[in-house]
Structure 1
Amino acid sequence: MFNKVYTKFVKHIEEFDLITKDTKKIVIATSGGKDANIMTELLYRYKMEFRADLELVLANAAIPKWKYNPTEFIKNIDDEKIIKALEDESVYIEKHKEYWESKGISTVYLEHSEGDGDDAIFNSSIPCTHCFVAQKKALFRYMEGLEDAEHCRLAIGITKWDILYLALSNILRANGKTWKDIKRDEPARYEMYCQHFATFSPIPKINIGIPNKTVYCIEPIVCLSDMETREYAKTLELPIIPDVCVSLFGEKFSSDKRFFDNFMKVTAIEECNIAQNNQAIELNLLDPLYSNYSDILALLDKTEIMPPFEDFDGILYKSYMDEVMKAGVVD
């Protein structure tokens, strides 16, 4: 039942004090995907039950144009197949906007910074990373420009599976070293290591580090798994915006994290099949693997993979605006 997910969500909000009494607005970073839609639905229900005064707004970093502003991008395209795909995409985008506006949640579309446009993304050797960085920069600049920004929160749709990805990828990168070893022996690498932990923060409330302001990024659904968000986005018929990048331009435009997600889903199904005498289990009926978020935090701490929170709190803004992330920290 979705009510169980909502109960878990409310408990998570309260445990980590993500929405304080002085919070006036939550800016919801949205790609239009399942995680962002579930996060919006849960925040909307929370607002209706506990905080009628809370303003919710969707911030869509409309980068790249072919995905989030297809009607503009289509003007320079001759390929009929691509034109048809982009016309379909524009329908999904409009449905997404209309659906949330009917609940009183408006959408703002954020433009990229100079040098982060479609050409730069398309021609990059790692287009997903380049796009990811451009979107984060647009979100941080938007938060920086908000009046009364310190009473606003930026909500990011990171789930437990993102934290598992963070843990596994850094175990591989660390090559047997702890964060203490890296900090002592390779200071420059440790800086990038911390930037990765700031981006996919295992701690669900982190200071963005906007100069002269204390503005927090929160992760309201980090207590949920990929399977939970997938299942309930489908059950609730939420307005998903498809990711057209791969279908238009090929596998180069597929983030490596998608391969990790597929691996995790297969692993979860195999584990549950073994536990239930190999009886086939449908994905939408699967009780999520790694259901205890606090155990994941304990594991990160016990294995000395996670650096101290004070080392990665408050560094997001500088790391993105200095474009350190574009060098391949997030891949």
Structure 2
Amino acid sequence: MDEKRSKEPVAFFRILEYESTIMDTAVSLIMDECEFKIPPGAKVLVKPNLVSSKNPLACTHPNVTLAVCRYLKDCGAQITVADSPGYGTAAQVSKAIGMTSGLEKMGLKPKSLGRPVPLKLSFGETIGISRDALETDLIINVPKLKAHGQFLVTGAVKNLFGTVVGFRKAYAHTRFGEHPGLMEKMVIEVNKAMPVWFNLMDAIYPMHVTGPINGKPYAMSLLAGSPNQYAIDTAAYMLLGLSPKKVLLWRECARQKIYGYHPDHINYVIEPPDDFDTTDFIIPDKLSPMEFEPVRFVKGRIKSLLSRFSGK
């Protein structure tokens, strides 16, 4: 650990349900305890997990995203709420999970991240990331904690993979998945390219057993925040009793010695992790291959195009 660098604050806050008034109070307290400040008039991208319209549990709960938007609106920010689902559009997913009407009350609309620009990766490849995300002043990352069939468990770091535009995410699995370690490197390099200022993790009812879409709800009752996406994920992994040997993204963060990967980098504010019991949180017994078969990729691409044109 670099002794000259201060520890990263991670705020754990117990909250039992997604009731909007309580959520507003929790978000404000977490931001304050982590000393989050936002310049008035800043262009802010709020990046929830809008992975699929099939299962609302797979997405960041609407009330978490809406509470973040209300907080930012009170700060005088210029807000955009956007993600880049692998299939369909952000507007379709937002409507399916019941977030659109709440955004409309604030004069906001969910948008799909677009305008891909190539990001050069350290292993000689490129990936198309959204210029919309790159050109914002700052990003508020609003992930959902989930078990994951390929990564074991995912949170804030993996959520920023959503800034890769559209089908390019599935294509990345097809291109890089057969080479161990490349997907993790790519996800982290996408993170490093993004102007992330804060992360608010929805772990009130995270997904366990499997994921990222078809798992089951788990009552963890946790809303967590930190300016460091690596630190908040480390805190979540530790809460689940895991180690870098098991969690692929954590292992790569540790290999690169990214600040936030180590427990000693974290300063817990509000509530200690010992207050949360996760002993019966189920993670996948066996991980699926990272790579997508070409046939699956093509079918997914056709499905995505049809979804966009039909508006369904």
Give the structure-2-normalised TM-score. Answer: 0.32
Q: Which has the higher helix share?
A: 1
Larger-Rg structure: 1
Q: Which has the higher strand share?
A: 2
